[in-house]
Amino acid sequence: MRELIKRTITGLILVLLTIFLASKGGKVLSYFIFLISIIGLREFYNAVNNKNYKPIRFIGYIACIGFLLNSLGYESISLNFIISFVIITLIITFVLNEKINLTDISITFFSIFYIPFLFQHIIYLDGSNYIWFVFITAWGTDTFAYLVGNLFGKTKLCPDLSPNKTVEGSIGGILGSVLITILFAKYFEIDPLWKLIVLSSLAAIIAQFGDLTASKIKRIMDIKDYGFILPGHGGILDRFDSILFTAPFVYYFVNLFLL
């Protein structure tokens, strides 16, 4: 019960803080995404160090700065520029440093596009009500999956990756995501509702893949949590793992089918 209370309080504070910063938008949102990207990268690098991999941290952090400058409107720092910088710098580092191997290079490249790049899609939705569907579908799915799984869960979903997740919880997460989406869409009069229901259903599935991806990485690295910055939850990546996947999905769905 004590752990549940700690988890609930931390989760509520994080949700309220995220709502406040996302509603401010603009530079505030850009700096927020930059901060969680830096923290997320650090947690990821510490995790892979557990298996003696040596990612090139400074390239990852510089890439985060590049994404920040891009979101702040510096047009010369384009996505193509950031990708080119990362690739060329990684190759030069690989050539000049004999201690760096291809695995370290690959992990560094993966980390940049797994964390800060995917987070950037939240910023792409800045100024639109659609930005809230990133959080509604991700955290709504997480919350309802957790509650339904604890109450009714019997059938294991992916026992090798996450032994506590159940099929019943997964279905509950999808239904919870749809329910919150309907209430949000009705209140703010966002149409068409059927497309939003499709969005929330698919995003809920995508969110769970984000969660399972993080679980697989943690299992490979022999760690329980990515960090301890969020009491009851772990690290930033433990709480934002599903958002990493829902952010780009919501952005592209909205642009393809709702705008």
The pLDDT tens digits of the residues spanning 132-181 come to: 999 999 999 999 999 999 999 999 998 888 888 999 999 999 999 999 99
Question: Would you state the pLDDT for residue 11?
Answer: 81
- Quote the tokens at residue 251: 């952005």
Which residue, among 232, 243, 251, 250, has the nearest Cα to 40 in the 3D structure? 243
Whether 58 contacts 229, CB under 8 Å: no
Domain boundary (70, 98, 126) is at 126
Quick one: pLDDT band at residue 8, thresholds 50, 70, 90?
confident
Question: Would you state the pLDDT for residue 232?
Answer: 73
Cα distance between residue 135 and residue 189, in whole Å: 18
Question: Would you state the pLDDT for residue 231?
Answer: 82
Domain boundary (82, 109, 126) is at 126
Are 147 and 19 within one domain? Answer: yes
Question: Would you state the pLDDT for residue 111?
Answer: 98
Q: How many CB atoms lie within 10 A of CB 205?
A: 16
Q: Give 23-57 as a DSSP string.
A: HH-HHHHHHHHHHHHHHHHHHHHHHHHTTT----H
Are 54 and 112 within one domain? Answer: yes
Quick one: pLDDT band at residue 4, thresholds 50, 70, 90?
low
Domain boundary (62, 95, 126) is at 126
Whether 249 contacts 33, CB under 8 Å: no
Tokens 């695995």 -> residue: 103
Are 193 and 161 within one domain? Answer: yes
Interhelix angle 131-152/2-24, rounded to 10 degrees, is: 170
Interval 228-256: pLDDT, tens: 888 877 899 999 999 999 999 999 999 99
Instruction: Please list, residue by residue across 235-245, b when 16 or more beta carbons sit within 10 angstroms of its beta carbon and e when fewer do.
Output: bbbbbbbbbbb
Cα distance between residue 33 and residue 245, in whole Å: 15
Cα dihedral across residues 27, 67, 111, 142: positive or negative: positive
Are 122 and 235 within one domain? Answer: no
Interval 171-210: pLDDT, tens: 999 999 999 999 999 999 999 999 999 999 999 999 999 9
Cα distance between residue 194 and residue 201, in whole Å: 11
Mean pLDDT of 113-126: 97
- Amino acid, res. 214: A
Which residue, among 18, 58, 19, has the nearest Cα to 36 in the 3D structure? 18
Contacts of residue 122, Cβ cutoff 8 Å, sequence gap at least 6: 22, 29, 33, 131, 134, 243, 247
Question: Would you state the pLDDT for residue 234?
Answer: 87
Are 181 and 196 within one domain? Answer: yes
The answer, yes or no, to whether residue 2 has pLDDT greater than 90, is no
- Amino acid, res. 65: I
Are 110 and 15 within one domain? Answer: no
Which residue, among 121, 103, 118, 104, has the nearest Cα to 29 in the 3D structure? 121
Are 54 and 115 within one domain? Answer: yes
Interval 20-75: pLDDT, tens: 999 999 999 999 999 999 999 999 999 999 999 999 999 999 999 999 999 999 98
Are 91 and 168 within one domain? Answer: no
Are 242 and 141 within one domain? Answer: yes
Question: Would you state the pLDDT for residue 3?
Answer: 66
Are 116 and 209 within one domain? Answer: no
Are 145 and 238 within one domain? Answer: yes
Are 161 and 207 within one domain? Answer: yes
Cα distance between residue 47 and residue 81, in whole Å: 28
Question: Which range marks the domain in which residue 95 is found?
Answer: 26-126
- Quote the tokens at residue 181: 């989406």
Question: Would you state the pLDDT for residue 1?
Answer: 62
**Into how many domains does the chain fold?**
2
